[in-house]
Amino acid sequence: MTIIDRVRDFVESECKKPTSHYGYEPFLFHFTPVARYATQLTDSLGGDREIILIAAWLHDIGSIMHGRTDHHITGATIAEQKLHDLHYPEKRIALVKKCILNHRGSQKNERLTIEEQIVAEADTLSAFDNISGIFKAAFIYEKLTQGEAQISVRQKLERKWNKLHFEQSKKLIKPRYDAAMLLLA
């Protein structure tokens, strides 16, 4: 079993626990698409595949275990401990942590490496695979009406589209973006 497999299994087990802040759904509808997009972007753009995939699987673990507030910080701490437990090299742990710390678009952190950029971009792309989840958040967590939720989801997807850095990302997601904009008009 590879280190990537072990990290994926760890994330899945945390999502299955009753203490998971969002239940098992994020594993299926967020973590898995992020890892898939990270793989696709790595294949076309390069970067250290192992670092990227470990960070893709762990990028939101802080949300699962401690909630959304500062989840990039709690996630980096959790990742460091888990990777230490798996005897992962210290220098590589630092690279994974940088990807996790810098994945949030709202933090406006400078992403200096292709690995950091790919993890952040894959996270952004995953929103287009989980529009129902964005609606769920709008209804349940934000307590929006149906009309308010429609506007909110459209705006959120527009912001995510505008955050995409790589042309490859826009090419991958353009059909979904266009369909969402048509349906949410």
Average pLDDT of the chain is 94
pLDDT digit string, tens, across residues 60-78 = 999 999 988 889 999 999 9
Model pTM score? 0.93
pLDDT higher than threshold 80 for residue 128: yes
107 pLDDT more than 70: no
pLDDT digits (tens, 9 = 90+) for 2-47: 999 999 999 999 999 999 988 999 999 999 999 999 999 999 999 9
Query: In CATH, what is the architecture of 3-183?
Result: Orthogonal Bundle (1.10)
Q: What residues does each domain of the chain span?
A: 3-183
Please report which confidence band the pLDDT of residue 108 belongs to, taking 50, 70 and 90 as the band edges. Answer: low
- 3-state SS, the chain, equals CCHHHHHHHHHHHHHHCCCCCCCCHHHHHHHHHHHHHHHHHHHHHCCCHHHHHHHHHHCCHHHHHHCCCCHHHHHHHHHHHHHHHCCCCHHHHHHHHHHHHCCCHHHCCCCCCHHHHHHHHHHHHHHHHCHHHHHHHHHHHCCCCHHHHHHHHHHHHHHHHHHCCCHHHHHHHHHHHHHHHHHCC
Mean pLDDT along residues 119-147: 95
